[in-house]
Amino acid sequence: MIKHTAIVSGLLLLASTHVQAGEFMDAAWAKQACAAWNADATLTAGLMDADGYSWVKNNAGRSYKLVQMYRTQCGDTTKVQLNIVEQDGKAICNYGGAPDGKAMDYGVDYLMHANDADWTCMGKGEFGCGAMGAMMSGKLNFKGPKVEAMKVMTPFENFLKLTGKVPGDKSECKK
């Protein structure tokens, strides 16, 4: 009976994680990316304390950080947003979707865009597409505190790989 329960539980977990792929970097994708962020200990714990630096606490006194991103060929009107807050000693994503109207502060917030080929490369973590390589080569267009991003390079790398873990169709841009 225990073996059967474990198999059924495993199949239910597998079924619940298989989500129909919508459009890459639309609001539904961002909601899934938020959940994936929260499931990644390197992001949730690593951004609380990365070598003595707390990324999530550098928030201009607002209690949140914003991460916006989009596909270059779809244009900046297609941005999605993740809101990151400190919660229970972790850097938690508490919102993923269309920009919610909060003003960006590029001293603490991030805006990133890349073409689909580069998002795919970064999502796979391929050579030359890691966080440092993507920033230095221009594959990732980036606005925000670059020195801060460099302080948390391992979590930033995981964030870029997250774009490959959340399924999404790149065949066209939303209208």
Kindly report the pTM of this predicted structure.
0.84
Nearest to 68, CA basis, from 58, 76, 60: 76
- pLDDT by position in tens, the chain (length 175): 444 433 433 333 333 444 455 899 999 999 999 999 999 999 999 898 766 678 999 999 999 999 999 999 999 999 999 999 999 999 999 999 999 999 999 999 999 999 999 999 999 988 888 777 787 788 899 999 988 988 888 899 999 999 999 999 999 987 6
Angstrom distance (rounded) from CA 101 to CA 122: 28
In CATH, what class is 21-165?
Answer: alpha beta
- Intra-chain end-to-end CA distance of the chain, in Å: 51
Between CA 140 and CA 155 the distance in angstroms is 16
Q: Could you tell me the sign of the dihedral formed by the alpha carbons of 124, 127, 128, 132, in that order?
A: positive
Compute CA 2 distance to the chain's CA centroid, rounded to the nearest angstrom: 37
> Which DSSP string do the residues of 98-121 spell out, in sequence order?
S--SPPP-TTT-EEEEE-HHHHHH
Delimit the domains of the chain by residue range: 21-165
> Residue 24, Cα to own-chain centre: how many angstroms?
12
